[in-house]
Amino acid sequence: MKKIWAMMSILVLTATLAAGCTAQDANTEAAGQTAADDYGAAGAILYGQKLSVEDMLNYAIEDEYLARQTYADIMADYGEVTPFSNIILAEEYHIELLTGLFESYGYTMPKDQSAAHESLPRSFEEALQTGAVIEEDNIAMYEMFLAVDLPDDVSAVFEELKAASENHLTAFQGGRGNGGGQYRENH
């Protein structure tokens, strides 16, 4: 059985490397996950607390990109409706906060590839559920990041983003069944 598993892992590694994937992508796929799992909060949670500050910032900004893209596409389908129309403005601010940290530490910001990772809802009720799941994942990611020793400025931004996600989650949960949630600004 070990030989079969080793052969399968080698085949997956070879195929993914031949397709131009990174070793991290190959390891992810050998573990039964896809490269799409390694983006935003899903990727951060996949790797757990073994992340550097730079990795954390990369996953955080990917997740903020994903939220912004998803909410923009939902509004393209359903109009400028709350809570999406309010929360998307906060997502822009979150990206600005993270951009400042990338600049302070001299890290290269990843490109926004969120469109390739989003899944769009089929109804407005599903859109509210999608928003809630995005924010729940954000909260879990930031809680995981904050469980390790971080520089003060990074910790402060992650705390602020976690609190914002908690607020956004409340707005999405309040919007289920009544066409829109009450939203109170709390970047």
| Residue 84 sits in the same domain as residue 32 | no
Compute the distance between CA of residue 137 and CA of residue 41 in angstroms, rounded to an integer. Answer: 6
Compute the distance between CA of residue 69 and CA of residue 91 in angstroms, rounded to an integer. Answer: 10
| Residue 55 sits in the same domain as residue 24 | no
| Residue 58 sits in the same domain as residue 23 | no
pLDDT tens string 29-86: 333 333 446 665 665 666 666 788 998 999 899 999 999 999 999 999 999 998 999 9
Domain range for 20 is 1-37
Cβ 88 vs Cβ 114: under 8 Å: no
Q: Is the pTM of this model over 0.85?
A: no
In 10 A of CB 156, how many CB atoms?
A: 13
Domain count along the chain:
2
